Amino acid sequence: MDVGFIGLGVMGGPMALNVLKGGHSLTVFDLNPGAVKRLVDAGAKAAASPRDVGAASDIVVTMLPEPKHVEAVVLGEGGVASGLRPNGVVIDMSTIDPISSQRIAAGLKARGFHMVDSPVGKTSEHAVTGTLTLMVGGESEIIARVKPVLDCMGNETFLCGGQGMGHAMKTTNNLLATTIMTANTEALAIGVKAGLTLELMMDVMKTTMSNNAQLYVAMPKKAFKGDDSPGFMVKLACKDVRQAVELARAQGFEPLVGAACQKTLEEAIDKGFGDRDTAALMRIREDQLGIKVRETGVAAGRAA
């Protein structure tokens, strides 16, 4: 297929490369020239604008930070929809809220195009290996049409319902994952301050209902090593949680836990950690309590 890809960041870059490896013709666009060059060196074609990506493609994938970016790139002046081939499809794989997703899909439909939402789960490592989790929403016949492209990027696909339901699933997932991460850092820091060791807490918690993948999979890889190099950046986690909180409020519900998590992430951004990995939350807790969680404890493998 002739595929376009817009948004070649930490996740989008390797995802686009896997589309290319899947045998599809690929045209790419990103504001970062270095990201474009990496794909061009691998065999993709560079486009000068989102419109040009659309003109070269039957299917265009977007992987962008926020709803406003997706809307501008897809429906704005010089956007994908101004050049997309007849009956073309946009697959939005960004993490945006379902209401925005449905609005963008309606704008495409009014111009004779289609949209599938397919945000992704797992990490940048899985983006490289093409083993992401895909949460898909849209019309079944259009999903079937684009599935060969989706299969290049993920090995677990969940059909979540109609338009926007993939984004609803991703919003829900990220709210839970991030609140768990935030709670972990708070609990561990309190425990160390009280005199417990990380080793003891990990040994106990793996036998109780406190057990969670953030604690035994994600945090040993980064947070417990003091590594907050960019992966899932704090500013993006904050955006995702904010979207979930806003969605809840639109439904007439005040999400107290989500709101507290959002406030914690906003404080991390205010402290200058917005571009760092969410592992930075552990560092912030350590600084607040004057302790070092990672220095009291155990190598990652022992409790995993």
The residues assigned a catalytic role are: 170
Tokens of 143: 């999903």
Beta-strand ranges (E) seen in the chain are 2-6, 25-29, 45-46, 59-62, 89-92, 114-117, 120-121, 132-137, 154-161
Two tokens, residue 55:
């003109």
Q: Which two tokens stand for residue 176?
A: 């839970």
Name the residue type at position 244.
A
CA angle 17, 23, 25 (to 5 degrees): 75
Distances (CA, A) of 282 to 100, 135, 148, 175, 269: 32, 29, 40, 18, 14
